Amino acid sequence: MYFTKFFIPTLREAPSDADIVSAKLMLRAGMIRKLASGLYEWLPLGLRVLRNVENIIRTEMNRIDGQEVWLPIMQPKELWEETGRWVVYGKELFRIKDRKESDFCLGPTAEEVITDIVRREVRSYRQLPVMLYQFGVKFRDEIRPRFGIMRAREFLMKDAYSFHADEQDAGNYYQKAFEAYKNICGNCGLNFRPVEATTGNIGGSFSHEFMVLADTGEEEIVWCGCGYGSNIEKAECPRADTERNGEELAVSEVHTPGLKSVDEVSAFLKEKSDKFIKTLVYMADGAPLVALVRGDYEINEAKLQQALGAQTVFLADAQTVKDITGADTGFAGPLGLKKEIRIIADFSVECIINAVTGANKNDYHLVNVNIERDFKPSLVADIRKVTVNDLCPRCGGKLEFCRGIEIGHTFKLGLKYSKAMKAQYLDAQGKENLMVMGCYGIGVSRIVAAAIEQSHDENGIIWPVQIAPFKVYIVAVNWDDENIRKTAVDIHDKLTALGIETLLDDRPERAGIKFKDADLTGIPVRITIGDRNLKDGKVEFKLRKDKNTEASLVPFDKIINEVQSVLANSR
C-alpha cells in the first residue's frame, strides 16, 4: 500500500479534549475521529488493527467449538423484563420506542437474546453443549464518556455464551474458555494478568477479568507469583488464625469533643488505629444495616454486597445515621443502637481486644468494647479492602499491586438466566432440566486502546507485531530520486507478494516528516532507503520498539530475509 493512496490523516497535535494517551495517539495517527461525545468513526488504519484483533479472537473461539452468529442490536423490553434487568440495568441502558410505541433497548450485552434463541431451538440433552458467539456493536449510555474508545457509548465487543446439561460440563468448558482468553491476550502481544473478579449485574457464581497491565489503567489489581490474582473488589482477606489474648476490661465512656475520624480520636486517646472498630451505616436493598471494620481498614462495598446477597448497597445519609444511632455521623458504634438492626462485622474485628468505638452519642466514644461480650454480629465475613501489608490468600507470599485495563471478562453464570427465562432441556429419562450457562465477553475495540496504553513512547504508538495495521513501513528519503524510488517499490512489491503488509511512504515530503509519521503510527519494522547507503548496496533497518538503538545497515539483497526472520521471531 502506498501512503498517497491510503486515507491516513495524521495530526501534529491531539484535540484538547483527548484525555488519555491512547485517545491522543489514535486521533493523531489518523485511526479514529470523534463524531460526538462517546461516538467515534474508525478510519482505515484503525480498522485494520480492529480486524486483526477480531481475527485472533475468532480463531480461538472456533478452536473451542464456538459457532458464530449475528444478533440484532435492538432488543425488546419483554426479554429484559423476564430477567428483571430492564429496571436493574439503570440509566446506562439506551431505551427507545418504535412507531408503535413498543419499547426496545440498544443492547449493551446479549444474555437475554441468546438465551431466548437456545430455549426455542434446543430440546434435548443430545443438542448440548452448545456455544454461540458474535461480534457486535454494543451501546451503554455512559454518564460521562471519557478515555476515547476506552469508555465510549458505542463499541465493538465479542460476546459468547455456552449452554450445558450440568454444572460439571459447564465448569470444564469454563476452563477451556479461560485458556482461550489467555491465548487471545498472548496472541495480541499483550502483557496481561487474569484475575478473580465480582460478577456485577451480569450475575453468576464466579468470574475472571483479563487485565492488560498499564500504569494508566483504571483498575488496581493484586497478584502473586503463585498464580493468584484478583481485582481490588474481589481480593481476599482471609480470617486471621491468631487467638484473642488479654483481659477484657470494663466498657467506659470518653469525652471526645468534636473528634469524629479515627485519626483524630486515635491521636487524642494515644491509641493505634488498629485498636478501633470503625462503624458505618449502609442501606442494603432499602433496609439499613451496620458494617464494622478495624479502624485502619476500609469497607469493600462489593464484598459487603456479595456477603449480604443484596442487589444494591450504599452508605446511608446523615439523617438515617442519626435515626439509627442517635448521633451525628462520626460517633457511631455497635453498642446502644436506637433500633434493632443487622450488624455485619469484618473478620478483622474478631481479633481486637478492648476496642475503641463510637458511643452513639455526639462528642463521645467508648473504650474497652469487645465482640461477643458486648455485641454479637449477625454475620462475620470478609468485607474489607486488601492492603499492601496483606499476604497472598493462596500461598502466604507477598502480594504485588499494579494497575490494569480490563479487556475481557468470563463468567460462570449457572442458572440465573435459564431459570428466569425457562431455558430447559429433556434429559435421557425425559425429565426437564434447566441449562447451565457460561458467558465470555471481550472488548475488541478496547484491546486496541489497551495495547497503546501499554506500549507507546513520546513519539507515538509501538504496536505488537500481531495486531499492527502494517508490519513494515518503508521510508523513501527522496521519492524523486529514481534509484531510491525503484528500490523502494521493489522491496514493497516483494514483501507484499509474501503476504507481509507493507506501507510505502511515497510522499514528496522531507525525510523528517516521514520518520515522525513512521514513529507515530507505530508500525513494527522501518526500512529507510537513502542515496548514501544505497550506493553501498544497503538499506537501513530498524525496529520501532528499539527506540534507543541505532538503525542497522542490511544489504539490499538480504533485506527480505531479515524482515521475515524478525517478524517470525516476534510472534
What is the total count of domains within the chain? 3
Q: How many CA atoms lie less than 13 Å away from 431 in the CB half-sphere?
A: 4
CATH number of the domain to which 535 belongs:
3.40.50.800
Residues 501 and 564 in one domain: yes
Task: Say what the pLDDT of residue 242 is.
Answer: 75
Q: How confident is the model at residue 200 (pLDDT cuts 50, 70, 90)?
A: low
Please indicate, yes or no, whether residues 27 and 138 belong to a single structural domain of this protein: yes
Q: What is the tens place of the pLDDT at every residue in 216-255? A: 898 999 999 999 999 998 899 989 877 788 899 999 999 9
Determine contact, residues 346/381, Cβ cutoff 8 Å.
yes
**Same-domain check for residues 172 and 54:** yes
Q: Are 134 and 142 in contact (CB under 8 A)?
A: no
Asked if residue 29 belongs to a domain, the reply is: yes
**In angstroms, rounded to a whole number, what is the distance separating the alpha carbons of residues 448 and 190?**
10
What is the domain extent for residue 145? 10-72+121-236+400-453
Give the domain CATH number at 182. 3.30.930.10
In terms of domains, do 169 and 33 share one?
A: yes
Average pLDDT over residues 277-302: 97
pTM over 0.75: yes
Distance CA 253, CA 51 (A): 67
- The answer to whether position 144 is within a domain reads yes
For 387: left if phi > 0, alpha if psi spans -120 to 50, otherwise beta; the answer is beta
Does residue 515 sit within a domain? yes
Q: Render pLDDT for 116-162 as a digit per residue (tens, 0 to 9).
A: 999 999 999 999 999 999 999 999 999 889 899 999 999 999 999 99
Q: Determine the pLDDT at residue 203.
A: 55
Mean pLDDT of 500-511: 97
Last residue of a domain, one of 323, 354, 381: 381
**127 and 173, same domain (yes or no):** yes
Closest CA to 1 of 503, 558, 529, 563: 503
What's the CA gap between 496 and 472, in Å, rounded? 10
Tell whether 85 is covered by a domain: no
Q: What is the DSSP string of 433-447?
A: EEPEEEEEEEEHHHH
254-259 mean pLDDT: 96
Is there a single domain that holds both residue 257 and residue 214?
no
Query: Are residue 357 and residue 423 in the same domain, yes or no?
Result: no
Mean pLDDT of the chain: 95
CATH number of the domain at 350, please. Answer: 3.90.960.10
Q: Are both 164 and 265 inside the same structural domain? A: no
Q: What is the pLDDT of residue 556?
A: 92
User: Which residues contact residue 100 at a Cβ distance below 8 angstroms, ignoring those fewer than 6 apart?
Assistant: none
Residue 433 lies in a domain: yes
Residue 397 has pLDDT above 70, yes or no: yes
Pair 156, 37 in one domain:
yes
334 plus 420 within the same structural domain: no
On whether residue 82 sits in a domain, the answer given is no
In 3D, which of 493, 494, 475, 459 has the Cα closest to residue 534?
A: 475
- Let me know if residue 92 belongs to a domain: no
Q: Is residue 88 part of a domain?
A: no
Helices 444-454 and 21-28 sit at what angle, rounded to 10 degrees?
Answer: 100
Same domain, 178 and 35: yes
Q: What is the pLDDT of residue 202?
A: 56
Separation between Cα atoms, residue 60 and residue 196, nearest integer Å: 21
Q: Residue 92's Cα: distance from chain center in Å?
A: 17
Enumerate helices (H) and strands (E) in the chain, giving the number of each.
15, 31
Last residue of a domain, one of 381, 410, 435: 381
DSSP 220-241: EEEE-TTS-EEETTT---PPP-
Alpha-carbon gap, residue 405 to 217, rounded angstroms:
5
Return the pLDDT at 198.
76
Based on the domain organization, do 424 and 551 belong to the same domain?
Answer: no
